Amino acid sequence: MAMTWSFSGITTFAHLKHVKCLTTPSEKFDIAIVGAPFDTATSYRPGARFGPRAIRQASSRQTSFRGFNPRAGINPYASWATIIDCGDIPITPFDNAVALGQMSEAFVELGSRSAPLGEKVKGKGKGKRKPKLITLGGDHSLALPALRALKKGYGREVRVVHFDAHLDTWHPAKYPSAWPSTQSHFNHGSMFWLAGQEGLLSNSSSASNIHAGLRTRLSGTDPSDFVDDSSQNWLRISADDIDDLGGPAGVIAAIMDQFDLNDPDPDPVYLSIDIDVLDPAFAPGTGTPEPGGWTTRELIRILRGLVDVLNVVGADVVEVSPAYQGRGEETALAAAQVVYEVLTGMVKRGLKDGSSEERAEGGVDKAHDEL
């Protein structure tokens, strides 16, 4: 196929093949990009419903022709994995209960497909493989339906590595409201609390979930929000800790210390990346900006130290609100680069796990697998 210039063509993520996967059940993929244009569970600035579109636009300079990642030694777009853009989940902006149901059903459907060369799932039958989804947000509440799908698909609790300025484990009943409602509990600051209540997250004392990049203000006059967070078995790494730990390498080590890298059946890990983990100087286009965050380079360095080592089974990049970014698209560009790094890690992990060898055995050119 002739090369497509980065500034031409219909906008999909990295010029990937576009398929409406939810209405094309026969379509198989190892890794899918899926948009979740939803932002009516936000507590401050809305606008992240336009995030998937902005991230795709910002990814235009990513192509399979010029996609080689010299850090990892592979081109994720020209290796073993079938990667496609599945488009957006149809989500209503008028009813959050319906929206939650729509996202939950969509993630379960997409995650239940049999991937061409995806990860083998223990106990799911010989040859059964699961694809991996990278979701473009949308506000952060989408992590709840994504985790529901992963628990159903993998039959076990999931570990979360959460990059964010905020905890997102707040007890929803503590939000001030003169007219409380059950549905208001589902919001972009409580979805991990809800996930814990639903039994979606690992709660073993030796298997913490992890926050990284925190610099949030707390409620009231004491650190009781941290107490609530600790009771839900989360390890907190603050934005300031990057200095005390000796830079990105120290943050990587602190996260990796929570995992048994010799486990033959490693925990499934979900990466949830709120773009507001970055300082507003680097990502102003977000719903709840907090000064004092990490640089784009620091976040990328940290992700590079994690994604091809951990058993990452899914990821999201959320809270990109393009109306608040500058003309240079700095927030969306950062998000698109984060997706590229996560993709690279997933593909490289697949090389280690043997997917490339199976592809070669099936008669496909092995050259790409040896990049």
**Distance separating alpha carbons of residues 209 and 203, to the nearest angstrom:** 8
**Distance separating alpha carbons of residues 144 and 102, to the nearest angstrom:** 12
Check if the beta carbon of residue 308 is closer than 8 Å to that of residue 198.
no
Using left for φ > 0, alpha for ψ between -120 and 50, and beta otherwise, residue 292 falls in left
The residues pairing with 129 across neighbouring beta strands, listed in sequence order, are 120
Nearest alpha-carbon partner for 143 in 330, 306, 314: 314
26: exposed, middle or buried (Cβ count in 10 Å: 0-12, 13-18, 19+) = exposed
Question: Any known ligand binding at 166?
Answer: yes
> What DSSP character marks residue 269?
E
Helix H or strand E segment including 146: helix 143-154
For the record, the structure tokens of 354 come out as 């043997």
Using left for φ > 0, alpha for ψ between -120 and 50, and beta otherwise, residue 363 falls in left
Q: What share of the chain is helix, strand, coil (3-state, %, to 5)?
A: 35, 15, 50
CA distances from 100 to 84, 86, 93, 184, 236 (A): 24, 19, 11, 12, 27
Question: Any known ligand binding at 185?
Answer: no
**CA quadruple 133, 137, 141, 144: dihedral, nearest 10:** 0
Check if the beta carbon of residue 163 is closer than 8 Å to that of residue 83.
no
Question: Any known ligand binding at 140?
Answer: yes
Check if the beta carbon of residue 4 is closer than 8 Å to that of residue 77.
no
Question: Any known ligand binding at 316?
Answer: no
Binding residues for Mn(2+): 140, 164, 166, 168, 274, 276
Binding residues: 140, 164, 166, 168, 274, 276
